[in-house]
């Protein structure tokens, strides 16, 4: 156990090996080598990627999994059994994983020391890590742990690797997600964490560079935190800065004052919306007075009314009681010919009529016997003719 090359030297980028077996699978070829520096997926850490070079040819390593006592490399092409290969590990991805995995140990260890919570879920994704803890935590508390984690990172302490005997292990207070058998490997980070782990790690905490928490949400009685470390943290901070710079230009605000500028804009927008709604209501009050029934119908075609405004205005027209059926329509905003509608009546079963109307007017929607609402994809004239048939039949 722990005899693979990625354990002996996690910084190894290339190695020589021979092909023991190569079997076709659904997603490619499963290749087993005499030795490997490719880390197989496990412990929340994603598998290494890279390539195997043989006889002037190259097979891409798409995934690496441990199957029983073998490590299988999923490749995009067949490699003859017995071939000598040079394995080339995608070092950027590997080092990203090492930075993030070591950063996670520091953060999770400090959470355990501070609150007594266990890390009950850990996954390293393409952009960030996901950490689940089995107890509550506030955003401010998360930031305090983040600050403490970064102090340990910047202290550049050595990350140790221990293989204690079982009797010694029984006396050690260490973190582990499950009961362990056989040889146990402990990752020791002074003043932060001592945890059983099968992943790859940096030699000193300073190589992590930075850990940054991105979000915190409540999750199954605990919290789920998204975080990122190392190069990925720098990239993420750069993306956030670029977004904030763009927002600051749009709002003509200083980079550290964008939140205040957005708050002010939202307030102004709310006031503008309220004034707009008041204007619409005044317009509809005047419009209502001008509408008179024609052939027992009141049909009003408008622009830019919301579904709620359409329904409310239709209800007002129905309550007047001087028409057999009332309809309010507002043109669709996407440029496609059609109308959002609401029809109301106190004497016609509109729910029964809605299927025929939808079929004739290429529409969808429905409702109750006294009011239906939806959309018709047709012209104004077709709507008027169909409703005349309904009212006058």
| 30-70 tens-digit pLDDT | 999 999 999 999 888 999 999 999 998 999 999 999 998 89
The distance from CA 145 to its chain's CA centroid, rounded to whole angstroms, is: 24
- Cβ neighbours of residue 237 closer than 8 Å, sequence gap 6 or more: 210, 212
Q: What is the pLDDT of residue 314?
A: 97
Q: Kindly provide the b/e burial profile for residues 288-314, where b requires at least 16 CB atoms within 10 angstroms of the residue's own CB.
A: eeebeeeeebbbbebeebeeebbbebb
**pLDDT computed for residue 69 by the predictor:** 86
State residue 1's pLDDT score.
64
In the structure, what pLDDT confidence band is assigned to residue 148 with cuts at 50, 70 and 90? very high
Segment 120-124 mean pLDDT? 92
Phi, then psi, of 47 in degrees rounded to 5: -70, 150
Per-residue model confidence (pLDDT) at position 335? 65
pLDDT for residue 284 is more than 80: yes
Residues 6+ apart with CB under 8 A from 371: 311, 314, 315, 318, 342, 343, 344, 345, 350
Q: Both ends of the chain: CA-CA distance in Å?
A: 86
Spatial separation of the C-alpha atoms in residues 300 and 327, rounded to whole Å: 6
Q: What is the number of other CB atoms lying within 10 angstroms of the CB of residue 357? A: 22
| pLDDT score of 110 more than 80 | yes
Average pLDDT over residues 249-269: 92
367/342 Cα distance (integer angstroms): 10
pTM for this one? 0.75
Work out the average pLDDT over 183-204.
Answer: 95
Which residues are 340's β-sheet partners?
330, 375
């Amino acid at each position: 156990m722990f005899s693979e090359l990625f354990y002996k030297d996690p910084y190894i980028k290339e190695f020589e090996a021979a092909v023991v077996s190569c079997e076709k699978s659904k997603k490619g070829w499963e290749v087993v080598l005499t030795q490997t520096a490719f880390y197989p997926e496990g412990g929340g850490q994603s598998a290494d990627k890279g390539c195997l070079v043989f006889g002037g040819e190259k097979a891409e390593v798409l995934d690496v999994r441990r199957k029983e006592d073998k490590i299988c490399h999923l490749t995009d092409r067949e490699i003859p059994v017995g071939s000598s290969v040079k394995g080339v590990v995608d070092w950027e991805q590997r080092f990203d994983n090492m930075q993030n995995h070591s950063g996670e140990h520091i953060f999770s260890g400090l959470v355990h020391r501070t609150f007594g919570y266990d890390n009950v879920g850990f996954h390293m994704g393409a952009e960030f890590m996901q950490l689940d803890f089995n107890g509550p935590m506030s955003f401010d508390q998360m930031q305090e742990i983040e600050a403490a984690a970064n102090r340990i990172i910047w202290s550049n302490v050595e990350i140790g690797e221990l293989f204690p005997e079982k009797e010694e292990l029984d006396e050690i207070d260490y973190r582990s997600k499950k009961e362990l058998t056989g040889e146990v490997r402990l990752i020791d980070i002074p003043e932060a964490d001592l945890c059983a782990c099968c992943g790859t790690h940096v030699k000193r905490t300073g190589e992590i560079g930075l850990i940054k928490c991105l979000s915190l949400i409540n999750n199954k009685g605990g919290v789920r935190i998204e975080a990122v470390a190392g190069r990925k943290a720098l990239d993420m901070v750069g993306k956030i800065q670029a977004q904030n710079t763009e927002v600051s230009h749009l709002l003509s605000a200083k980079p550290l004052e964008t939140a205040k500028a957005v708050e002010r804009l939202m307030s102004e927008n709310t006031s503008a919306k309220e004034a707009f709604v008041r204007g619409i209501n005044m317009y509809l009050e005047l419009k209502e007075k001008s509408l008179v029934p024609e052939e027992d119908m009141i049909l009003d075609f408008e622009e830019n009314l919301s579904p709620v405004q359409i329904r409310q205005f239709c209800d007002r027209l129905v309550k007047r009681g001087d028409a057999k059926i009332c309809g309010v329509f507002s043109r669709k905003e996407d440029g496609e010919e059609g109308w959002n509608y609401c029809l109301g009546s106190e004497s016609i079963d509109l729910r029964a009529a809605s299927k025929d109307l939808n079929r004739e007017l290429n529409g969808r929607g429905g409702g109750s016997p006294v009011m239906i609402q939806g959309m018709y994809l047709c012209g104004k004239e077709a709507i008027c003719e169909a409703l005349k048939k309904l009212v006058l039949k």
